[in-house]
Structure 1
Amino acid sequence: MKVNIRSGDTLWYYSRLFMIPLPLIIDSNPGLNGSYLQIGQEIQIPGFTSQAYTVKRGDSFWRLATARNISIDALMLLNQNINPSSLQIGQTIYLPARAIAPFMRRDVTYNSALLARDIQTLKNQFPFIQVRTIGRSVEGKPIQEIRLGKGTKRVHFNGSFHANEWITTPILMALLNTFLLSLTNSQPIRGLVTNPLYQSVDLSIVPMVNPDGVDLVLNGPPPALREELIAMNKGSTDFRDWKANIRGVDLNNQFPANWEIEKERKEPKAPAPRDYPGDAPLTEPEARVMAALARNNPFDRLLAFHTQGKEFYWGYEGLEPPESSILAAEFERVSGYEAVRSIDSHAGYKDWFIQEFRKPGFTVELGYGVNPLPLTQFNEIYEEVLGIFLSSLYI
């Protein structure tokens, strides 16, 4: 919500007026010098939207404020050109509306266009988050990172490495939405006070690593590639089982962690809907983007969301640090998922991260069943992994 500064206003006053932690207001207005505010200057108040309201008979600022449990001065701030003593029936004024519930629907398929819309909605409601395009897919679609927090502990999450595991993206977005609402409303999540986490953690989220693949699964092939992709899909026009990127390369088999072993033993020797590791490590732009992200940001831990199995993998070739077992035990406790230290698999993002940086990395297999998992599992999966999300931040 945007407001214009009046004479005598301060960011501290706005924090008290709207009951929003001051650091969130400061971070919502980068470059703003709180000591030298100017009358008429526009700033953003996180956790609120401005809603148009048509004045009805009997309305007054006092009645409107009382009914909504807000300050009369909050109404005055949003309606600086309105005389509160002479409201007219039919007149349009603006009311501050606190965001108290998630806006995301949990019953819709989630392609890259819907993700872009929801990221923008989050940015509008919670302007203290940072959103940047860290690279582009084969088809030129943006791969976006969401960043928030002021701390030194760097935690990274990602989803939708695999196209038919697209449910991991709205799960991540729902977890983020819950966390943001907790911050602006100063409400704990499962008893955990989250505002200190904002000060101690630098959180990075890439909700959709493989936008081309997700859109292929949900929307079908783009016209220019239709025949090529149908041929790669063994003549089928049903792409629900497609895991790879749009060039038929499995992005989670693309990293230089014993990639040669996967290349030798994987059955596909050419681009395919799943399991083809490519002609060399990091040939695909999506994989290169994620490798560069990890190299340029010293993450302290990394969690990659996949489906399915209700388990997570936390070791690689004995290279994981002792901290990993502590986190794994807590993740297992709060989620009910099985902690699996090692499996006979290589070339994944988590594998490469552990090998490269000797930091804790996790591949979390959400839900149970046959991919793509149905949206009927959404709420169950969300509740299971909420504990993992929170404990990754506070431990």
Structure 2
Amino acid sequence: MDQNRYRPGRAHTSRTYPVIPPIYQTTTFELDDRAYADIQGEGGLHETWYTRFNNPTVDAAAAEVARLHGGGDEAGHSLIFASGMAAIATTLVSLVGAGDTVVAARQTYGDTDDLLRRDLPALGATVVRVDAHDTDAWRTMIAEHQPKVVYGETLSNPQLRLVDLPAVAEAAHAVGARFVVDNTFATPYCTRPLELGADVVVESATKFLAGHSDVVAGAATTRDPALLEEVQRRLITFGGCADPHAAFLLWRGMRTFRVRLAESCRTAAALADLLAKEPAIRDVIYPGRNDHPDAAVVRRVMPDAAGAMLTVVLHGGDERAGAVLRRLRVGVEATSLGGVETLVSTPFNSSHFNMTDEERLAAGIQPGTLRLSIGLEGEEALLADLRQAFDTP
């Protein structure tokens, strides 16, 4: 028999050096002495031997996320998950147990809100909520409740209100709490929460990081290797690992991250100023505008770019907003965000459909709200599209 015939387990020992990471679409890898030692000593966390634990393509995506956040060296201090919610849920469950308290923003993504309202209390944790933009309330609740974890989103959805990350981080650390920040809307292009005091950054990598509306993934990033390892153990146990092909698409999307975000943020800022002059619009909400209620915080937290998310409130309420949405020709009527195309949605029948009108008002979501995730079409094309949608009977 030919002893030099192809052996599947030897494929990863090639001496070629590809410019982009190969897709290691394999469940398992040939074992060697290092892998056995890692399995027996550290539970298999570090060596590559089974894709639910580690995979070179997934590791490449993790290293790129860490680089964007300034979170680690070439090995990276990031983990990649099957979705953003897998990253958020796994991180919180890793840090919170029965008898612990979480102080969290009242304004969070809908499924995160379910996790905070139902799932963490079912595990024996207490969750206390505060308004995301009320820094004094953060300080008071953190000092009073001595939480294990403090949780917030850099920008709330769809109100685009800001958490004062340095101030909340200081309050959290004063009582020994971990500060976890969802940075999906802001992205590391606009702010890097680890540099402002956050202990862990979680994200839906589906959105701006991947950037092409073709992959679902999540990420968690930290500068603390021990904390990363604790979350990784839960990732392995819960099975929320990323598929290698999805990880490759994420890696590829991040190669154009800065170029995409630079253009989308520029367009969002220009479009916000143009829309502020439109008679059909009652209010424009964009963090980069001087009339934003958190403008002072924006200058501290996002000093160089104010993001690619834009919210407008139309005269005529939700019925008018829904009609305008259906008449768009350039913007796409769809949920999600962060793609190269502009995605537009109405919260009353999508992201916040499970709230009553009164609950949406209490959360600061006005009737007639349109949420826009700005893509690469340019402000002139988007303005013309919105104008024709406003004017068409």
When the two structures are superposed, what TM-score results if normalisation uses the length of structure 1?
Answer: 0.27
For the pair shown, which has the larger CA radius of gyration, 1 or 2? 1
